[in-house]
Amino acid sequence: MNIGELAKRTGLTQSRIRFYEREGLLTTVERRANGYRAYPAEAVMVLEVIASAQKAGFSLDEIRRLLPPDLTNWEHDALMSALRGRVADIEALEARLAESKAQLIALIDLIEAKPDDIDCATNARRVLSRIMGSASTRTVKSA
């Protein structure tokens, strides 16, 4: 199939397909006598694997190391290790995001709990003193 048809079937742009080819990720490309590229049907699957892996956060170098020249010859242990590692990375990111979210919600609550009898500047000092007090308490506890 030509690059236009491959682009339609994968939803990728022709320039993206050429990029993957230059990067050594799409290796099953032949050149016709007229110089045009000819892609086998399996190129669709290879490109879908590459796009999915990128969406999951794998770098091109990681994909290059994991993607076998023949999709029937995956290195099972390396693949499973990489997938489990990516899941662990995502879980760590989720934990950091949950902590950040909790801190922001606590800050919002603290700001919104402004007593009616103080102005915004005084409230800002009140909030900052609580934050600084919490930070020094955390530092002491972790030391």
Query: How would you write 103-134 as a 3-class SS string?
Result: HHHHHHHHHHCCCCCCCHHHHHHHHHHHHHHH
- Residue recorded with tokens 């402004």: 114
Question: What are the start and end residues of each CATH 1.10.1660.10 domain in the chain?
Answer: 3-74
| Amino acid code (one letter) for 40 | P
Yes or no: is domain 3-74 CATH 1.10.1660.10?
yes
Answer yes or no: are the C-beta atoms of 133 and 113 closer than 8 Å: no
Residue by residue, pLDDT tens for the chain (143 residues) are 999 999 999 999 999 999 999 998 998 788 888 888 899 989 999 999 999 999 999 999 999 988 887 777 888 898 899 999 999 999 999 999 999 999 999 999 999 889 889 998 999 999 999 888 876 655 555 55
CA distance 59 to 71: 19
DSSP 38: E
